[in-house]
Structure 1
Amino acid sequence: MPLDLKVGDKVELKKQHPCGSKDFEIMRTGADFRVKCLGCEKQLWIDRPNLERRVKKVTNKED
């Protein structure tokens, strides 16, 4: 079952970004996700299966 991820959600991933941060903000959803590293502000494109596999926890959900 797919995770319920929305634009604005903040997620913690299992592996860290090269800058050292594990926290990312979801910028775009769909078949591919655009996420922004909260450490260095770099934006990445990740497909849904890879992102769902890498998410450790959703740290902040906006309602």
Structure 2
Amino acid sequence: MVAKTYELNDIVEMKKPHACQANEWKVIRLGMDIKIKCMNCGHIVMLPRREFDRKLKKVLKKADA
């Protein structure tokens, strides 16, 4: 499996959109669990890293850009 590269404060797109119909999430915590925040409604979700890697579609914007 190829490791997807994401860092703190990156904007990512998940495979399924959030209930508010937005599909942009900001990575706000990295560790064993990954915490992401919906860019539309501000809802925060914490996922185990393995589940996050499976549900991640792509990185939209890098934090340093």
Q: Report % sequence identity.
A: 32
Letter in 1 for 2:58: K
How many equivalent pairs are there?
A: 63
> Secondary structure of the equivalent of 2:52?
helix
Letter in 2 for 1:25: K
In structure 1, distance between residues paired with 2:30 and 2:51: 13
With the length of structure 2 as denominator, give the TM-score of the two structures: 0.87
Counterparts of 1:1-63 in structure 2, within 5 Å, are: 1-63=2-64
How big is the alpha-carbon RMSD for the aligned residues of Structure 1 and Structure 2? 1.1
Deviation of 1:3 (Å): 2.5
Gap runs ≥5 in structure 2: none
Letter in 2 for 1:23: E
In structure 2, distance between residues paired with 1:31 and 1:2: 15
With the length of structure 1 as denominator, give the TM-score of the two structures: 0.90
